[in-house]
Structure 1
Amino acid sequence: MDSNKDEALKCIEVAQKYIGEKNKEKAKKFLYKAEKLYPTQLAKDLLLQVSIMPDSVETEQPRRRKASLPRDPSPKQLEYTHEQLALVKRIRSCKDYYEILCISKDATDGEIKKSYKKLALQLHPDKNKAPGADEAFKAVGNAVAVLTDIEKRKQYDLYGNDDDRVSRSRSSGHYSRGFEAEVNPEELFNMFFGTGFGSNVYVRRGGRWQRQTQSHQHDERRNRENPNNGMSAFVQLLPILIAVLLSMASSLFISDPAYSLSVNTKYPVLRRTFHLQVPYYVKENFHSEYQGSVRRLEQTIEDEYVTNLRHQCYRERSYREASIWKARNFGNDDLYHKAQKIKTPSCETLEKIQNYGTL
């Protein structure tokens, strides 16, 4: 006990030293230690004195500042490269469509489309996440839509460099220069990259963009060179028209089909094919009226059923992919998760048929 008392007195002496230095925390530490070793009234009085002391500015302030600093062990990684950001900034700083596409004012349609394809692939929202990439992508699409239209390009060459028009359009952020494209940037992108571009040319008919093949171009050129081609074309089509009319007339005398894939009042009796168990419906007098091969009929039904499933599966997948892209483009996590959960029942049924040969 005497040794504990001596140690307690030493702790009190150290605590008194820290009290003189106004170091409240360390004084408390040694006083609590002294009380633990050998309780004394002196230690209790000193603890009371320390408790009413103001906090030390030198010791407390740095500790609080250090505790308030957030810890970030790993820096946030950018979702875009410096080259992508530089390209976006260049497009947004351009003054006209020719500068946007990096082409001269006498550039051909082929050069315009070639430049667009290169820039559109670099600026598409799915690939370029740099700030302002969406606006740059729209600017490139608007540029090619205007410059590949003969009339709009003429008007743009006449009025596109007007300072007032440029300042108004730049303040709106659409790079329109008073000319608005008649096609959505995504639709324009799909027209260039969704189908083969090599042998196709996109023209406007009735205010809409349409794909024109080389054969169509050849027919239009031939019609312009020979105005009488209209009558000759009608004469050539006359046999086809007669055949169509005869087919329509003969269809009036054709009996009803032997089956239906959906139930109705005319086809109320349910049957299933032998191989895939596909449900189909027939008339009540099917056994007495139908004289053909039932096995061959069911093969036709299964082929039609599988073809319908393929078309429905394609539509279901297209809808889900479009919903996912839309949610990702708007940065909406809830919509993105909902889009991922969209069911494709036709695709699942088709997969079962392909894997197991049965429903």
Structure 2
Amino acid sequence: MEPNKVEALRAKQNAEKRFAQKDFTGAKNYALKAQALFPELEGITQMVATFEVYIASQVNVNGEVDFYAILGSDPSADKAKLKKQYKNMAVLLHPDKNKTVGADGAFRLVSEAWTLLSDNKKRSSYDLRRNRQVPSGDVQTNSSSLSHGLDTFWTVCTSCQVQYSIS
């Protein structure tokens, strides 16, 4: 067995250990190391993608899980781009094809993101919550203390779906 492959397998095992400890960034770093050492290592691309989804699921914007980050997209993406990204992620993460530790959970996160973002009403409501304006200097820890922006008018561009607030 090649020395690089042995070292890559060791890095992959370390990635799995880090994942079990919920250290998703550490897990991804070890997986990337394994991928760099031996790119042909079975399942390493899926492992990296799986860990990236878990890392993205920890990102919050105004207290909301960033479903755009989970899909690896941005809020300005139209529905067709989101659908394409979802399909790519679903193929890569589907538990029938991806035997990586945590693949089933990553697939569920991606499916949840797509379910919300593919529904125009749910997406619009989510975007409003995600983009709500919090005055600078105010630090809030729970949703009951958040300003609901009653003096703010929100509008959506009909061609690009970007949301704008007018205070």
Give the shorter-chain TM-score range: 0.3 to 0.5
Larger Rg: 1
Which structure has more relative contact order (CA 8 Å, sep 6+)? It is 2
TM-score by length of 2: 0.48
| Structure with a larger share of its residues in helix | 1
